[in-house]
Amino acid sequence: MSKASRTKKARNTASAGSGCVYYIHTGEGYVGAVASRAQAQTIDKHSVLICDEEEVARFPEWGNEIANSYVLNKAVELGFKRINGSAFFERLSTGKAYVYFIEAVGLTRVKIGYSASPESRLKQLTTGSPVTLRIHAKMPGNQAMEREIHSRFSHLKVENEWFHFTNEIAEYIKKNCAEEVA
């Protein structure tokens, strides 16, 4: 099944009123779809969670206009912008703060956090660390984007904001971070 037909199939599940709202990347940009995490990952492993199951469950009581407005507002909060009035969105890469990935060298661990100055945050973390830390990558972002990334990789969480640094996270960094330092 092609990516376009999988996207269409996921979008058609919206009438069922179950699942989460994801933005799934296509050749033309990101497009919204209601799907389970597994469906969204099958269509695009870099899909972005916009609304969870609890939020989607409230859509029928809100009606289409309010639900659509809610989804668009959440998407903007996560750094998306509509492309020339079309049904497609692009993820903006501008901002005054960053979502950063600080690597604990030699431990296959990475801290995913948010800061206006990842370099200053690195200095703070280095003070009490028994291992070498370095900024692996950073991308312009906000706290909502940080929460979405934490949710995406919750299955890799070690403690607090520290995660197992796997190929899955490395691929995400490669696709999404214009400023890969390491």
Condensed to tens digits (0 to 9), the pLDDT of residues 48-82 reads 778 888 888 889 999 989 988 888 888 887 778 78
Predicted TM-score (pTM) of this structure? 0.63
Question: DSSP states of 126-173 as a string?
Answer: HHT-SS-EEEEEEEE--HHHHHHHHHHTGGGEEETTEEE--HHHHHHH
Tell which wins on pLDDT, 4 or 59. 59
- Let me know whether 61 and 27 are in one domain: yes
Domain that holds residue 63: 3-91
In this structure, the number of other CB atoms found within 10 A of the CB of residue 12 comes to 11
Task: Look at residue 81 in the predicted model and tell me its pLDDT.
Answer: 79
- Let me know whether 62 and 77 are in one domain: yes
Q: Which of 58, 91, 124 is the last residue of a domain?
A: 91
Q: Which of 60, 91, 122 is the last residue of a domain?
A: 91
Task: Look at residue 8 in the predicted model and tell me its pLDDT.
Answer: 46
Q: Which of 91, 113, 146 is the last residue of a domain?
A: 91
What confidence tier does 1 reach under pLDDT thresholds 50, 70, 90? very low
The side-by-side arrangement of strands in the sheet containing 98-104 is: 157-159, 162-164, 109-115, 98-104, 133-140, 179-180
- Let me know whether 124 and 68 are in one domain: no
